[in-house]
Amino acid sequence: MTPLFKALKLGSLIVPNRIFMAPLTRCRAGDSHIPNDLMAQYYAQRASAGLIIAEATMVMEGNSAFWKEPGIYSQEQIAGWKKVTDSVHASEGRIFLQLWHGGRVCHPLLNGGAQPVAPSAIAITNDEVHTPEGKKPYVIPRELRDDELPAIVAGFKKAAENAKAAGFDGIEIHGANGYLLDEFLRDGTNQRSGRYGGSRENRARLLFEVIEAVSSVWTNQRVGLRISPLNSFNSMMDSDPIGLSTWLAKQLNQFNLAYLHVMRGDFFQQQTGDILTPIRQNYKGILIANMGYTSEEANQQIAEGKIDAVSFGTSFIANPDLPERMKAGTPLNQPDPATFYTQGTEGYTDYPMSLS
């Protein structure tokens, strides 16, 4: 049996293989941000993943960054997600929900005119956002006050409670890719003073408070965390990503998480380096790697003990039966980026299965 197809214990959950589905924003929830039947079909098609990590989901109303992404703050959204989890479980799958606050990536045109919030008043400069009025530049966010942060922690906790009510098997905290928790963590976007700025200990304070809050709802062993210390997406940067990764890996041991999920590189190649090695050397829990893996490289790195599992992104978009294809050596469908963020079934639930 190849390493990818060996069972893995994630805290109190045992998964049958190490081919995970990465969280992938698909914008199929519509203007209401309510998960729907089409989303239930999409995730059920991919239930053979060792673990599905569902897409970034708003923990609090008024923080939309992708226009038609889902939320988990209302009873209607809980009911919509329950359809998804029921469908995945009926297909013998396992699914975590990724809890997310967009931070400065949010836009007034998506949130009733509200200015986005962030650790510091620094705007994204290397991209534009899709809005009902077309692509628009990002705006300068409002710097959060320290006394506003407990409400954000409470928002994550309530979202964790709602995810439990919706039937998920666990949750993943989104601490990556330039969204709010990542903005606090990295010094390129966190230039504040006080208890939540300056030192690594202070910059990580909000993330650790969120981990503690959601772990009071779920056991720690049903909570994962995703980070991306190198990724410059959303104008992100840190002065010492290797040092940050090493320090963070040590600190996370205290939480006894189900797993740590690491994006190993940078979409834009602005920051390079090996962050997986120092993380593996210092983090004692399960390590999930992501970004640009082939099945061959994944098998090799798992066999060598460098990582424990791999999450696949666009490969899972185009191949609902990705584990079966990898096991059989069946050629993979190629994803169509033009349909990643559109509406309807095209490029979503209409990719062929290998045996269909």
Query: What whole-number distance in Å separates Cα of residue 311 and Cα of residue 329?
Result: 18
Q: Please, are residues 139 and 115 in contact by the beta-carbon 8 Å criterion?
A: yes
Helix, strand, coil fractions of the chain, as percent rounded to 5: 35, 15, 50
DSSP state of 71: B
Query: What whole-number distance in Å separates Cα of residue 245 and Cα of residue 248?
Result: 5
Q: Please, are residues 278 and 230 in contact by the beta-carbon 8 Å criterion?
A: no
Query: Would you tell me the crossing angle of helices 37-45 and 75-90 to the nearest 10 degrees?
Result: 30
Q: Could you count the other beta carbons within 10 Å of the beta carbon of residue 146?
A: 13
Token match 């965390």: residue? 225
DSSP state of 141: P
Token match 């297909």: residue? 91
Quote the strand ranges of the chain, DSSP E: 8-10, 13-15, 19-21, 52-58, 95-100, 117-118, 128-131, 134-137, 142-143, 170-175, 223-227, 259-263, 287-290, 309-312
From the list 73, 179, 196, 293, the catalytic residue is: 179
Query: What whole-number distance in Å separates Cα of residue 81 and Cα of residue 73?
Result: 11
Q: Is 351 a catalytic residue?
A: no
- Residue 197's contacts (CB-CB under 8 Å, 6 or more residues apart) are 119, 120, 190, 191, 203
Q: Could you count the other beta carbons within 10 Å of the beta carbon of residue 138?
A: 20
Burial class (CB in 10 A: 0-12, 13-18, 19+), 151: exposed
Q: Could you count the other beta carbons within 10 Å of the beta carbon of residue 347?
A: 18
In this structure, the strands spanning 8-10 and 259-263 are unpaired
Catalytic residue positions? 179
